[in-house]
Structure 1
Amino acid sequence: MRALTLLIALAATSALAEPAVSPRGQAWWHDIAVLADDNMEGRLTGTPGYQRAADYVIQRFRAEGLAPAGEHGGYIQTIAFQEQVVDQHASTAALVAADGTAAPLAVGDALILSPAGAPRPASVDAPLVFIGYGLHLPAQGHDDLKGLDLRGKIAVFISGGPAALAGPVKAANRNARAEFLAAAGAVGMITLNTPKQIEIPWARQKLLASQTGMYLADPALREMPDGFVSGSIDPAQAERLFAGSGHSFDEMAALADASQPVPTFALPLRLRATIAAQRRAVTAPNVIAKLEGSDPTLRSEYVALSAHLDHVGVGEAIDGDRIYNGAMDDASGVASVLDIAHRLKAGPRPKRSILFVIVAAEEKGLLGSHYYALRPTVPKGSIVADLNFDMPLPLWPLTTVLAQGDAESSLGAAARTVAAQNGLSLIADPLPNRNSFVRTDQFSFVKAGIPALAFKFGFAPGTDAFRIEHDWRATHYHAPSDDVNQPGVLKDEAIKLDDYVAALARTVADTPARPVWLSGSVFNPANKAP
């Protein structure tokens, strides 16, 4: 009751509250307004603004009466990171032909060098090879690396994948790409996105390139090898890589957009680059709380609800604004986890315990969730499922739910049953080549063997929702305009999704059997290559 009174009081005092919005909708929006306030300075992991946001989440957990589930009896789990900045304009690059002729490739304009994943080398000089989609799935009958010699080379690949492969399968393989390319002897990789598959316009990507990257300080926990080079090319200049190869970027892009087979072949060019990078150590916390279950046996197991607290901080100005507030990405997800915590706390206790995991450094490569999944603050093996919120986008009425991962585990059947009980239905991922399944924090739990789902408002091609989602990403995604002044956010529709996920969490928590991987899932241990 004390927590409910606090929520109503917060809603009543919020200048952003709307008379037609329910108290829970207003409280959800208030949490977003606090976390996306300019005072949080974009919640970049390792900054004072991020710490202020973490302190607010701890305050809200306490107000809800949730027990701490972090380290040393508290709510936090402290993580050590290395922050890395690549000075794009102090770095250099050129495409070098066989006769030694070098054509400059402007870093920060035509080429963006990624600062994420691992320490970058000071320089690289290596031949290029085009590896199609860059998918290494021999067990599924597709292997773009077959017959290629990648030793000492930079692999160039294009976005997308063959239609015959399921979205999560392709996405999971892309997530492991640096690891398997390095194992094959490659020294780097370059991503080519087709113009039709680009989410963030290149002009904004260039602005974002000045921001920091990160990797975990503990080398044993890194997935990208040290010294590996990673970058992306402006689609408008990608044709330069194919000169003299007998192929064109337009040809490859047309095949990729149609999800048709894409060939692999050598590119008659080398990439020669110097990389100006600086590094420093930073720390930041995950924030974790729990609601203890009611069953004497099952309470030692957990259903996790997760969202990421960080955003991208302060960056290059767009329309005079330098603070990237991250209201939808992902203050909205954190607010939904807090709303679900309030709902579950107010009702009968679920049989299993519920774990509320608010993670750091999602924007830097799912680092906070990766760390937590490998080093949980509860006994290993006790987490039976993860239900994740990342940018659910309540911008149109909720009629369908995109539950990414629903075809991989028994959670999918439970999700469909609970959806029907709530007047909803699940929808297939309309954009599987976007790789969303591996770009949200539930995937860290999946890699640790834990069945998981990630939730968004459903949208289908040809609908208003599809257009709204596309336009929002083109305009607001990773931009300062993702703040509380953006129009069109439907607060009570967000609460409907919260109610659905709360009901699903309770169902999973109360079901005696743990969720299991389906027999055909690529994540089922029985289907993994030896």
Structure 2
Amino acid sequence: MPRPFLAAALLALPLPLAAQTDLPPAVTAAEANVSADSIRAYDKYLSDDLLEGRYPGQRGGELAAKYIASQFESYGLKPGGDHGTYFQQVDFTSVKADPIKTTFTLVPKSGAPIKLKFADDFVVFNSQLTPSATINAPIVWMGYGITAPEFQWDDYAGIDVKGKVILCIVNDPPSDDPNFFGGKSLTYYGRWTYKFEQAARKGAVGALIIHRTDLAAYGWDVVRNSNSAEKTFLAHDANPRLEAASWIQLDVAKQIFAASGTDLDTEFAAAGKHGFKARELPVKLDATVISTVRNFQSPNVIGILPGTSPAPDQAVIYTGHYDHLGVKADAKPGEDAIFNGAGDNGTGTAMIMEMARAVTSAKLSPPHSMIFAAVTAEEQGLLGSAYLSQHPPLPIGQINLDLNFDEILPFGQGDQLHASGSQRTSFYPTLEATAKRFGYSVPAPRPDTGGGYYRSDHFSFAHAGVPAFSVGQGGTYKGHDAAWSQAQGAAYNKNDYHNVSDNFKPEWDFVGNATLCRLGIELGWKSVTSPPIEWKAGDEFAAARKASK
């Protein structure tokens, strides 16, 4: 599409940026090249019905990957994938529970069996990746299902769960002390992924996580849509796995406790206190999980702007996931069935592409590499980024920073920069100063009660030691009041997140997305021209960073 002349673009930039003199002309030119209209066009294509919800290993996902790769090639990026291509192929195995043949029945020691309804009462996947699994095992009440020696907490102490099914609460034990399970902020121990992993490590055959919207930070619709469809795993992961990894509704948990002669409120309160003792309940789970198993590949798409310095690389990697949830399996005739994912994460993918186009068209020559990676299978548990962090295009210790872009809703120009987790790194003062020049305030970090830090692709790189965080905006949007601004995000979370209604909207305003791209380019430049970025002393990822060097 036609591009404005550079001089006109510079005049259109916010005054603080245009007036800067501390950046090389090529960086300023790259920022001037960013176009909100380009981001809009990328997002509109990525969220078109043609791409069928961009599901990994299916036609729509392949079309999306090829489109992104073709754009990277047109920009002149060096291929960063396998065998001189832009594609880093990842082997996956997926399972999808049959909603008719998969059955769950609670069998109390006394009283009638309680049959549960798939999708309404429970969802489940067989992470052992076999076509069928039959379970008839006692349920063990595990409280939060956590073993955390640093907090002197072990829900598994004194009980053997081998061959049994654990029942646990999502989230961490309640705390106001930041030195105890992060206080109000969720730690990884509170994530559903940890609950399933730990249950499998302890030899359980199944796990039932009790869903409660306030604790999970999302409703049952999100759980149902994310877990009743196909679930995907890295094919060669040798870690222990469950035959039945399940979520259950809160009312189902109430029935289990009632059949055990107790009540949910009493049990939840006891589970959050030191001295809690797990115990086997007088209820069994009689379950049959019938699954379709599929092996496939889906690529991460990687392009590199190589650094010019002969010294060891100190790269920045820009990440954003291009996959989404595909097509709704149980849609009725005539019903919208495609999870187009325009917000999640057509927006972030479009921004990765636009930053890559902007820096290459400006002929930027960074001293250290700039890596642009559109990753797959985020919706399946950050799998594409996990693989990339384990198989990076250069040694992981030579990646100085990961900037992730995920679900940046196009509501216009916000006045706040959100970068949760950045305060944990030595790069935070640079981020604050740069944000100010772009007209953003940076709110004081708030407790991460929903565990958002562990739910996007930057976490994969943080887990590998790389200082990493996601970049977004919010606050009050230009031309609107605070109430309007808050209502837009709330409406999206309630109605569109992980729903078929997450469609491209013509009225969307991508001006703020463009500003974040310019800021991202500048942060990336500063990261490749700065001293090594580190986690602050004592951070949970500092040891991994040290080990990666």
**What TM bracket, shorter-length normalisation?**
0.7 to 0.9
Return closer, same or farther for 1:478/1:69 CA change in 2, 3 Å cut-off: same
Q: 1:40 to 1:141 in 2, by over 3 A?
A: same
Distance in 1, Cα, partners of 2:50 & 2:200:
41
1:189-204 equivalence runs, <5 A: 189-197=207-215, 201-202=219-220
- Alpha-carbon contact 2:467-2:534 (below 8 Å) kept: yes
- Would you say 1:287 and 2:301 are equivalent positions? yes
Question: How far apart are 1:60 and its partner, in Å?
Answer: 1.2
Number of aligned residue pairs: 504
Deviation, structure 1 residue 507: 1.1
SS of equivalent residue, structure 1 residue 498: helix
Q: How does 1:332-347 map to 2 (within 5 A)?
A: 332-345=347-360, 346=362
Deviation for aligned residue 1:335: 0.7
- Equivalent residue in structure 2 for 1:517, among 535, 540, 543: 535
For structure 2, the 5+ residue unaligned runs are 9-32, 477-481
**Distance of aligned partners of 1:149 and 1:414 in 2 relative to their CA distance in 1, 3 Å threshold:** farther
Aligned residue among 475, 478, 490 for 1:470: 490
Whole-Å separation in 1 of the counterparts to 2:448 and 2:270? 16
Displacement after TM superposition at 1:261 (Å): 7.7
Residue in structure 2 matched with residue 122 of structure 1 by the alignment? 133
Opposite residue 457 of structure 1, the aligned amino acid is Q
Note the 1:263-274 alignment, pairs <5 A.
Answer: 263=276, 265-266=278-279, 267-274=281-288
Residue 338 of structure 2: aligned partner: 323
User: Unpaired segments of 5 or more residues in structure 1?
Assistant: 9-21
Name which of structure 1's ranges 73-82 and 336-345 shifts more when overlaid on structure 2. Answer: 336-345
The equivalent of 2:503 in structure 1 is 483
Taking a change above 3 Å as real, the CA distance of residues 497 and 380 of structure 1, as seen in their structure-2 partners, is closer
Q: Does 1:170 align with 2:187?
A: yes
Aligned twin of 1:233: 248
Secondary structure of the equivalent of 1:123? strand
Report the Cα offset of residue 437 of structure 1.
1.6
Match of 1:296 in 2: 310
Q: Is the 8 A contact 2:307 2:366 kept in 1?
A: yes
Q: TM-score, normalised by structure 2?
A: 0.83
* More displaced stretch, 188-197 vs 319-328: 188-197
CA shift, 1:374, in A, is 0.9
Contact residue 321 and residue 378 of structure 2 kept, 8 A: yes
Are the aligned partners of 1:403 and 1:427 in contact in 2 as well (CA < 8 Å)? no
Once the 2 structures are TM-superposed, how far is the Cα of residue 269 of structure 1 from its aligned partner?
1.5
Determine the structure 2 residue equivalent to 1:27.
38
For residues 338 and 526 of structure 2, the distance between their equivalents in structure 1, rounded to whole angstroms, comes to 40
Change beyond 3 A, Cα 1:430–1:72: same
Q: Residue 492 of structure 1 is aligned with which of 504, 511, 514?
A: 511
Shift of 1:197: 4.2
The one of 309, 314, 320 equivalent to 2:322 is 309
Instruction: Label 1:311 to 1:486 Cα distance change in 2 as closer, same or farther (>3 A).
Output: farther
Q: Distance in 2 between matches of 1:117 and 1:493?
A: 43
Corresponding position of 1:88: 99
Q: Return the offset for 1:230.
A: 0.7
The yes-or-no answer on 1:181 pairing with 2:194 is no
Equivalent-residue separation in structure 1 for 2:100 and 2:369 (angstroms): 50
| Distance of 2:224 and 2:488 partners within structure 1 | 24
What letter matches 1:360 in structure 2?
T
5 Å-filtered alignment, 1:399-414, equals 399-414=415-430
Q: Distance in 1 between matches of 2:40 and 2:267?
A: 44
Which residue, out of 378, 381, 387, partners 1:362? 378
Name the CA distance, whole Å, in 1 between partners of 2:246 and 2:385: 24
CA deviations over 1:225-263 (Å, ceiling 9, x no partner) = 24442111123433112114454334567899xx98895
What corresponds to 2:17 in structure 1?
none
Instruction: After TM superposition, give the deviation of residue 104 of structure 1 in Å.
Output: 1.5
What is the one-letter code of the residue matched to 1:90? Answer: K
Following the alignment from structure 1 to structure 2, what is the Cα–Cα distance between the partners of residues 339 and 119? 41
SS at match of 1:151: coil
1:434 to 2:454 alignment: no
Amino acid at match of 2:325: V
Output the TM-score relative to the length of structure 1: 0.85
Q: 1:386, 1:452 within 8 Å by CA — same for their partners in 2?
A: yes
**Distance in 1 of aligned mates of 2:275 and 2:367:** 50
Alpha carbons of structure 1 residues 464 and 159: separation in structure 2 relative to 1, 3 Å:
farther
Shift of residue 434 of structure 1? 2.3
Following superposition, the deviation at residue 204 of structure 1 comes to: 6.4
The answer to whether structure 1 residue 504 and structure 2 residue 523 are counterparts is yes
Contact 2:140–2:166 (8 Å) recurs in 1: yes
Which letter does structure 1 place at the counterpart of 2:523?
L
Deviations 1:253-289 (A, max 9, x none): 7899xx9889554333221101011112111111100
| Aligned CA distance change for structure 1 residues 262 and 24 (closer, same or farther; 3 Å) | farther
Contact 1:171 1:436 in 2 (8 A): no
Deviations 1:380-403 (A, max 9, x none): 432222111111223364222221
Aligned counterparts of 1:207 and 1:275: Cα–Cα separation in 2: 18
Partners of 1:96 and 1:121 in 2: how far apart?
A: 21
SS in 1 for 2:344: helix
Is residue 426–residue 458 contact of structure 1 (8 Å, CA) maintained in 2?
no
CA distance in 1, matches of 2:509, 2:267: 40
Report the RMSD for the aligned CA atoms in angstroms: 3.2
Specify the code of the residue in structure 1 equivalent to 2:500.
P
Offset of residue 463 of structure 1: 5.9
- Shift in alpha-carbon separation, 1:156–1:490, aligned structure 2, 3 A: farther
Q: CA deviation at 1:504?
A: 1.3
- 1:278 is matched with which residue? 292
Inter-partner Cα distance in structure 1 for 2:353 and 2:291: 38
Q: Take 2:269 and 2:359, find their aligned partners in 1: how far apart are those partners?
A: 49
